[in-house]
A and B are shown apart, each in its own frame.
Chain A
Amino acid sequence: MTDDDRVFKALADPTRRFLLDLLFARDGRTLTELESELEMTRFGVMKHLRLLEEAGLVVTRRSGREKLHFLNPVPIRLVHDRWIDKYTEHQVTALVDLKHRLEDQP
């Protein structure tokens, strides 16, 4: 699996997207804090967090005895630069072309 595959797979699940939204609202949370926001077993939440970590979307840091989870937006940025920019740019160019063609008509 490529890095992009891991990111897309990780994002293709509502629970994992919800976990990212939770970290976006407040970063650096423990497993216990994240678990309290979900109707799911601790084991289930850990599994989702592991997939997010493998995709690079979550980075963990130790702070004393606690393991804190941080949202890492860099892989999403890379997917954006690699895929989204390319197609939106094409769309913009196409619109500009269309405008020129319409304006050229007598």
Chain B
Amino acid sequence: MTGSTVTALTTQVYRVYIRATPEAIWEAITDPAWSDRYGYGGRVEFDLRPGGAYRTLSNDGMRAMGVGEVVADGEVVEADPPRRLVQTWRLVMAPEMAEEGFTRLTYELADTRDGVTRLTVTHELDGAPKTAHLVSGGEEDSGAGGGWAWILSGLKTLLETGSPLTAAQPVSD
């Protein structure tokens, strides 16, 4: 195995500190008006109770690229707003990842100092090596987005500045 392979990952843990309340971050994760403004985008649908359905629906840009209506789906396992959300998650839009089945996602939000919230995302990816590679950012160079680090970086920027994280615009002049 060389240093650049990531096939052995089965659990991935990501943590980011955001200058926002746990309530605001919870909303950004579970409300479709927010979810379309960072990371891969798309409008989420959450029935926030154990056994409730979860889906992310494609936006216009994704459909223009041939993505179907449902990007990802799963089920809510545990919802304790604004502290803890556990859900299953499967990427439906890519057949080779859809067939790997459901993975498990845990969001944990904790207050720290001075109005800063610590968000930890744990993604359990047993038996889903292709999905694991994608969410670790392994496909970024082929234009498939930078996975969780990229999603959370975008979430932080959106909540702290009010503007989405986009590629730097060329200065006109």
Chain A interface residues toward B at CB < 8 A: 3, 21, 24-28, 56, 59, 61, 70, 72-74, 76-78, 81, 85-86, 89, 93, 96
Determine if B153 and A77 form an interchain contact, defined as CB atoms under 8 angstroms apart: yes
**Contacts A/B (CB < 8 Å), 27 sampled:** A21-B3, A25-B5, A26-B8, A26-B9, A27-B9, A27-B13, A28-B11, A61-B13, A61-B122, A70-B11, A70-B12, A72-B13, A72-B15, A74-B14, A74-B15, A74-B16, A74-B148, A76-B149, A77-B146, A77-B150, A77-B153, A78-B16, A78-B156, A85-B168, A86-B168, A89-B170, A96-B170
B21 CB-CB contact with A under 8 Å:
no
User: At the interface, yes or no: B152 with Cβ under 8 Å from chain A?
Assistant: yes
Minimal Cβ-Cβ distance residue in B for A92: B170
Chain B interface residue count, CB cutoff 8 Å, equals: 30
Ranked 6 nearest A-B pairs via Cβ: A70-B13, A77-B149, A89-B168, A73-B149, A77-B153, A26-B8
B1 in the interface, Cβ–Cβ < 8 Å? yes
Task: Tell me the minimal C-beta distance from B146 to chain A in angstroms.
Answer: 7
Contact at A74–B12, with CB atoms within 8 Å?
Answer: no
Secondary structure of the A contact surface, majority rule: helix
> Would you call B14 and A72 a contact (CB within 8 A)?
yes
Q: B interface vs A, CB < 8 Å? A: 1, 3, 5-6, 8-17, 120, 122, 137, 146, 148-150, 152-153, 156-157, 165, 167-168, 170-171
In the complex, what residues of B have CB within 8 A of residue A78's CB? 16, 153, 156
Min CB distance A10 to B, Å, is 14
Cβ–Cβ < 8 Å partners of A56 in chain B? 15-17
Residue of B nearest to A70 (CB): B13
B152 contacts which chain A residues (CB < 8 A)? 74, 77
Could you tell me the distance between the alpha carbons of A73 and B157 in the complex, rounded to whole angstroms? 16
CB distance from B171 to the nearest CB of A (A): 7
Contact B13 A59 (CB under 8 A): yes
Instruction: Identify the closest chain A residue to B147 (Cβ).
Output: A73
**Chain B residues with CB below 8 A from A86, complex form:** 168
* Complex partner residue of A74 from B5, B153, B165, CB under 8 angstroms: B153
A69 to B49 Cα, complex, angstroms: 31
- Chain B residues with CB under 8 Å of A25's CB are 1, 3, 5, 8
Provided the pairs A21-B3, A56-B17, A81-B157 are in contact, do residues A74 and B149 lie with their beta carbons within 8 angstroms? yes
A73 to B156, CA, bound (A): 14
Closest chain-B Cβ to A12's Cβ sits at a distance in Å of: 20
- Residue of A with least CB distance to B150: A77
Instruction: Report the Cα distance A34→B1, complex, angstroms.
Output: 17
- B8 with A27: CB separation less than 8 A: yes
